[in-house]
């Protein structure tokens, strides 16, 4: 089946959000620091930052897992409220304070982001090849925060449809977000390919939904398990237009 649609992951594929941090959840530190300062400015009594951070880093991986396995959505403002309840039993925090803290958290993480080499040029080249482009991101941030990143880096004008997981409670590697985005793009899964950096979320998820999948190994953050087999592997975005033409043509 002829390829008509190319769908991109965001973090680690088009934009790198890790800043100076090598691992997750450590890379969330600047965001949590910003949220901490915001809540303190509202008069919320909090434990020492190191204690709050340790509790958060214990909580976050499990909550992420409940999201990606389809059990419960994960939105940052809700997670911060849960963190305060777990670490200090606080139930009386005004929702607006959590929203404000979450916005500052997002801003701090996004401030350390940068586009991957060749991101704009690759989107431009793939668009010029005649493909429809989609964007599908697993994120506890709002889609609006990531849209601001795309605009800042000049990457926002290329996509025909976008989906951000926390906005719609659809998470990779579940099939639902892929199927929803392909539907919005007006094509079928057999004419679409997904590009992402996470074997277990991006590649396995695309295959779960019936799409082909290209792994971009932009970092060494994610080893490839023996049971996951990408349809192609690239090391940098500049390789993508050629791979689409040679491997997925016709």
Q: How many whole angstroms separate alpha carbon 135 and alpha carbon 180?
A: 12
How does DSSP classify residue 239? G
3-state secondary structure 48-110: CHHHHHHHHHHHHHHHHHHHHCCCCCCCHHHHHHHHHHHHHCCCCCCHHHHHHHHHHHHHHHH
Q: Render pLDDT for 110-126 as a digit per residue (tens, 0 to 9).
A: 999 999 999 999 999 99
Predicted local distance difference test score (pLDDT) of residue 94: 86
Q: Render pLDDT for 167-201 as a digit per residue (tens, 0 to 9).
A: 999 999 999 999 999 999 998 999 999 999 999 99
Q: Render 209-226 in DSSP notation, one character per residue.
A: HT-EEEEE-SSSSS---T
pTM: 0.95
Q: Render pLDDT for 192-224 as a digit per residue (tens, 0 to 9).
A: 999 999 999 999 999 999 999 999 998 777 778
Query: How far from the centroid of its chain's Cα atoms is residue 23's Cα?
Result: 15
Q: Render 96-151 in DSSP notation, one character per residue.
A: HHHHHHHHHHHHHHHHT-EEPTTHHHHHHHHHHTT-EEEEEE--SS-HHHHHHHHH
Query: How far from the centroid of its chain's Cα atoms is residue 172's Cα?
Result: 9
Predicted local distance difference test score (pLDDT) of residue 91: 65
CATH superfamily to which 5-16+115-247 belongs: HAD superfamily/HAD-like (3.40.50.1000)
Predicted local distance difference test score (pLDDT) of residue 158: 97
Task: State both tokens at 161.
Answer: 């449809």
**Which of 242, 164, 232, 211 lies closest to 6 in space, CA to CA?**
211
> Could you tell me the residue ranges of all domains in the chain?
5-16+115-247, 26-111
| Res. 156: pLDDT tops 60 | yes
Predicted local distance difference test score (pLDDT) of residue 250: 57
Q: Give me the residue label for tokens 């620091």.
A: 33
Read off the pLDDT of each residue in 5-11 and give the average, rounded to a whole number: 97
Q: How many whole angstroms separate alpha carbon 194 and alpha carbon 177?
A: 12
Predicted local distance difference test score (pLDDT) of residue 177: 98
Predicted local distance difference test score (pLDDT) of residue 89: 82
Read off the pLDDT of each residue in 34-40 and give the average, rounded to a whole number: 97
Read off the pLDDT of each residue in 134-141 and give the average, rounded to a whole number: 98
Q: Which residues contact 35 (CB under 8 A, 6 or more apart)?
A: 80, 101, 102, 104, 105
């Amino acid at each position: 089946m002829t390829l008509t649609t190319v769908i991109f992951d965001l973090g680690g594929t088009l934009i790198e959000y890790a800043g100076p941090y090598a691992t997750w959840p450590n890379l969330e530190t600047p965001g949590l620091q910003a949220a901490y300062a915001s809540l303190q400015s509202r008069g919320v009594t909090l434990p020492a930052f190191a204690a709050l951070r340790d509790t958060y880093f214990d909580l976050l991986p499990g909550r992420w897992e409940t999201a990606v396995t389809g059990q419960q959505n994960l939105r940052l403002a809700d997670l911060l409220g849960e963190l305060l309840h777990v670490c200090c039993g606080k139930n009386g925090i005004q929702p607006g304070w959590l929203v404000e803290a979450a916005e500052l958290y997002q801003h701090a993480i996004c401030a350390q982001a940068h586009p991957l080499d060749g991101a704009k040029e690759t989107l431009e080249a793939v668009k010029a090849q005649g493909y429809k482009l989609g964007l599908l991101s697993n994120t506890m941030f709002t889609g609006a925060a990531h849209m601001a990143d795309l605009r800042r880096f000049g990457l926002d004008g290329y996509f025909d449809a976008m989906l951000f997981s926390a906005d719609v409670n659809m998470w990779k590697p579940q099939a639902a977000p892929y199927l929803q985005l392909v539907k919005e793009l007006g094509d079928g899964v057999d004419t679409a390919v997904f590009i992402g950096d996470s074997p277990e979320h991006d590649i396995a998820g695309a295959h779960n939904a019936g799409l082909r999948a290209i792994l971009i190994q932009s970092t060494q953050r994610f080893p490839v398990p023996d049971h996951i087999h990408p349809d192609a592997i690239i090391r940098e975005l500049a390789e993508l237009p050629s791979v689409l033409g040679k491997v997925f043509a016709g």
